Chain A
Amino acid sequence: MAGTQYVVFSINQQIFGIEIFKIKEVLSYRKITSLPQVEKFVRGIINLRGAVIPVFDLREKFNLPAKEYTKFHVIIVVEIAGRIMGVIVDEISDVLEILPEEFQTTGNLPSNLRREYLKGVGKKQDEMIILLDIDRLLSPEELELVDAA
């Protein structure tokens, strides 16, 4: 056994995975209240059952071309370094269990991704899933910005 469950989603046809335990909830896209004077990748805040959660867009973070939001976009509520926040992704596809033999670290990664927030790549039925280390996704400066929001 010893496999780890990942929630798999796609941004700009690239498939990413986040460890299931890091995920609090998955929401359909809803209206985001934008905030003034914050970094562009921070979209704003949403109200989740009384709690105010900052939301950012991974497209921005990964320097991918911006895309208009539809009702089929998904906000994944995650816990990053003890903070609850929402991440906007294009599409959520599956919950997969990556076995250790399917997991591998690799040096050949897309240029827009930094190594520090990558865990590795999961190979599943000829599909390559980029596994993100959510805790390292944001730099301390970015975290401060999110806190400020």
Chain B
Amino acid sequence: MRNPIHELLKNMKMRTKILAATIVAVSVFMGPSLYQSLVIHKKTAMNQASEFSDHMLDNIYSAIRFPMSVGDEKTVKEQMKDVKEHMDGVQVYILDFYHKIAYTSEKERIGSSIEKYLQGSESRKALSEALETGKAPGISFPEMENKDPFLVTIKPILNESSCHHCHGSSRKVLGAMVIKQPVKKVFAAINHTRNRLIIYFAAALIGLVVFINFFFSRLVSRRIQLLKEQTSLVAAGDVTVEAIDDDNRDSIGSLSRNFNQMVKGIRDRMEYANSLKLGIIDPFLMVDPEMNVTFINENAARMSGLSPDEAIGRPCHEVFHSSACDKDCPIKKALDTGEIAEGKRMTLTDRKGNEIPAMSISSILKDSSGKVLGAFAIIRDLTSEVKAEKSLQEAYLKEGKAKQELEKKVEDLSRILKQVAKGDFTMRGTLSGTEDAMDVMTKRINETLDSIVNLIVQVKNQIVPVIRGVAHISEGNQSLSQRTQQQASSMEEVSATLEQLVLNTTENLTNTRNADSLSKDAVEVAQEGVEEVEKTSHAMVEMSTASQKIVEMVELINEITFQTNLLSINAAVEAARAGEQGRGFAVVATEIRNLAKRSGAASKDIQTLVREIMSKVTATGHWVDKLKGSFTKIVQTSKQVSDALGETSLGNEESSKGIEQISQGTQEMTAVNEKNAYFVEEISQETQKLMEKARQLHHISGVFILGDKDEQKEEDLKIEKDPLPARKNRRKSEALSTPLHKDLLTKPPVDDLNEDLLEKEFEGGFEEF
């Protein structure tokens, strides 16, 4: 069941789907409520009809009750007749408990069973129950009679006390009353209402659907439609579509924006790939799997001799006629293996028949699923490389030849240099006149040989002055020897003097040490003096204290004297009062007064004396303090003296040492002087040897063969030999240099060639002589 629906939905348009969904949803939610409202309406109308029937039943019953209780049938019948006349269509039946109709508004139906006129089984059953139990069913029953709808209401007639006189009291229920009320009009009203409701509902449904559809179309389907169209274009490969302008923030809006982003991304990538493709400068082409050219750049087209437009679409081998086309095609190889085929060398033949050496690199192009879309090839023109290779080979051959020539020249030079090593400077390298590096070198070697020849000639010329110089040195050495002797004698004098000086210094040092110990004694004495002064100072303080005490005592004496005086005056007063009898007492009083006076004078004297002592003590105290200060100074000064003496002592010791060192130095100098004398001797001997060597050198330089310059040299020697006797005469007065010159003259030059050095170095050279 589901699959067909699914299929149906799949093939439906979005709009239709939404329309169908809306209709279904609205019907599902509104249908039941419509139905419910119809049911409620009908029920309400029926209830009202039923209630009306009940009222009618009660009215009729109350109207017939009295006539029946008094047995007035006529009135009952009249009542029924009234009902028939005035109540349109209402049927009233009064029946006994055998269901037989006793009275009715339908006269023709009297005496027949009610069953005939009750069609519904429910109403019949309700009637039987009511007759049996005496209880009303409480509801009305809708029924049809002759296609007209009626409402049947049943009410049992109970056996009341007023009925007993006719019906007795054995029965509970006497019968029943049934009313059939026509409800055709009620039903018609209900139907009318229902129809109108349905019409309204349908209208509302249509309105709602139209409304929803309109909005959906506006908000969703149109935008989706646009999106669909654009995506279809992109899917078809057209990436130049315009961006969708949708600035809504809903999901379709963001979908649109994503789409724009996506298209831009695709475009960027394509552009990237394109720029890569176009950026390759080497000849470059792309083919499809069938080897037809899909792209070719300018350089490749030029190489092939076709224009790019002509080349595109043609098979590859028609565009490039290559030696590799028949077998080993790199593009084919790449397509077959899926690997990169590189470094393949081939020869291309262009339209004019020119052969072009080339090399190609090929690889395949794949899509995202790995499907092969084609292949590409980059071709490199190797013409220039091949040319370069050729020229390189030629250059190599040329170089070989040049090398041989060079070796020959080098051999020539080597021969010349070998001769030079033997002392023969006559040979020179031959110049080819090509002015190449070898020629220049040969020229330089020739020049070098010339300068060496010059140098040797110069050396030969210089040897004679050297001999002269050595003679001078020898002479100077003699006078140096004399001076050295003089110096030695004066050094001895100095040494003697210094010894005396050392003795004196030592004595001085001893004296200083004595003075130092004396000054230390002085410091000690001064220190003792300070101690004594301090004792004195202490004693002075004690004396001052004692004097103070004396002053206090004198004060006391004064007081006593004063009291005594008072006493004596009192005594005199008393004695004066006593008159003659007091005369003796007066004398005593006078004596006492005199005593007091004397003691007062004495105490005053003591006071004066003590004050003097105290002032003197104070003065002495000052002096003692000063004395103390002086002593302290003495101690300090003595110490300084002592220190100074100590330093002097040290200085003396140092100078003593210094003098000893001088003395030692002098002795050393004397020794050095002696050595100097010895050295002078040595120099004298060495000078003689040097003279000999110079002479030998002169002979040796004669060994070199110098060609035409050498002849001049021999002349020089002859010239040199001449002035020597003159010099000899001059120097005869100076004893030292004489033997050297004699040697130089008497011995012929070649005789001295027994020296080791000469034998070794010039062995080869001699052979040539």
Report whether B565 and A92 are in contact in the complex, using a CB–CB cutoff of 8 Å. yes
Report whether A71 and B572 are in contact in the complex, using a CB–CB cutoff of 8 Å. no
Interface residues of B in 566-612 (CB under 8 A from A): 566, 568-570, 572-573, 576-577, 589-590, 593
Set A20, A27, A71: member contacting B576, Cβ < 8 A: A20
User: Within 8 Å of chain A (Cβ to Cβ): is B506?
Assistant: no
Task: Output the residue of A24, A26, A27, A71 with the most chain B CB within 10 A.
Answer: A26
CB distance from B600 to the nearest CB of A (A): 10
Q: How far is the CA of A72 from the CA of B569 in the complex (A)?
A: 15
Q: How far is the CA of A94 from the CA of B590 in the complex (A)?
A: 9
Residues of chain A lying within 8 A (CB to CB) of residue B566 = 26-28, 74, 92
User: Within 8 Å of chain B (Cβ to Cβ): is A5?
Assistant: yes
User: Within 8 Å of chain B (Cβ to Cβ): is A95?
Assistant: yes
Instruction: Given A5-B576, A21-B576, A21-B577, answer yes or no on A95-B562 (Cβ-Cβ < 8 Å).
Output: no
Q: How far is the CA of A62 from the CA of B109 in the complex (A)?
A: 185
CB distance from B656 to the nearest CB of A (A): 83
User: Within 8 Å of chain B (Cβ to Cβ): is A7?
Assistant: yes
Set B559, B562, B565, B573: member contacting A23, Cβ < 8 A: B573
Residues of chain B lying within 8 A (CB to CB) of residue A116 = none
Instruction: Given A21-B577, A94-B593, answer yes or no on A71-B569 (Cβ-Cβ < 8 Å).
Output: no
Residues of chain B lying within 8 A (CB to CB) of residue A71 = 559
User: Within 8 Å of chain B (Cβ to Cβ): is A25?
Assistant: yes
Report whether A5 and B572 are in contact in the complex, using a CB–CB cutoff of 8 Å. yes
CB distance from A75 to the nearest CB of B (A): 10
Residues of chain B lying within 8 A (CB to CB) of residue A95 = 568-569, 572-573, 589-590, 593
Interface size, chain B (Cβ < 8 Å): 16
Residues of chain B lying within 8 A (CB to CB) of residue A74 = 566
Residues of chain B lying within 8 A (CB to CB) of residue A24 = 573
Interface residues of B in 62-82 (CB under 8 A from A): none
Chain B: which residue is nearest A27 at the CB level? Answer: B566
Residues of chain B lying within 8 A (CB to CB) of residue A27 = 566
Report whether B573 and A25 are in contact in the complex, using a CB–CB cutoff of 8 Å. yes
CB distance from A24 to the nearest CB of B (A): 8
Interface residues of A in 18-71 (CB under 8 A from B): 20-21, 23-28, 71
User: Within 8 Å of chain A (Cβ to Cβ): is B563?
Assistant: yes
CB distance from B622 to the nearest CB of A (A): 33
Contact with A along B532-574 (1 / 0, CB 8 A): 0000000000000000000000000011001101101110110
Report whether A28 and B569 are in contact in the complex, using a CB–CB cutoff of 8 Å. no
Report whether B562 and A7 are in contact in the complex, using a CB–CB cutoff of 8 Å. no
Residues of chain B lying within 8 A (CB to CB) of residue A94 = 593
Instruction: Given A20-B576, A21-B576, answer yes or no on A28-B562 (Cβ-Cβ < 8 Å).
Output: yes
Contact with A along B224-261 (1 / 0, CB 8 A): 00000000000000000000000000000000000000
Instruction: Given A28-B566, A92-B565, A94-B593, answer yes or no on A7-B559 (Cβ-Cβ < 8 Å).
Output: no
CB distance from A87 to the nearest CB of B (A): 14
Residues of chain B lying within 8 A (CB to CB) of residue A72 = 558, 562
Set B558, B569, B577: member contacting A7, Cβ < 8 A: B569
Residues of B within 8 A of A (CB): 558-559, 562-563, 565-566, 568-570, 572-573, 576-577, 589-590, 593
Residues of A within 8 A of B (CB): 5, 7, 20-21, 23-28, 71-72, 74, 92, 94-95
List 20 interface pairs A-B (beta carbons < 8 Å), by A numbering: A5-B576, A7-B569, A20-B572, A20-B573, A20-B576, A21-B576, A21-B577, A24-B573, A26-B566, A26-B569, A27-B566, A28-B562, A72-B558, A92-B566, A92-B569, A95-B568, A95-B569, A95-B573, A95-B590, A95-B593
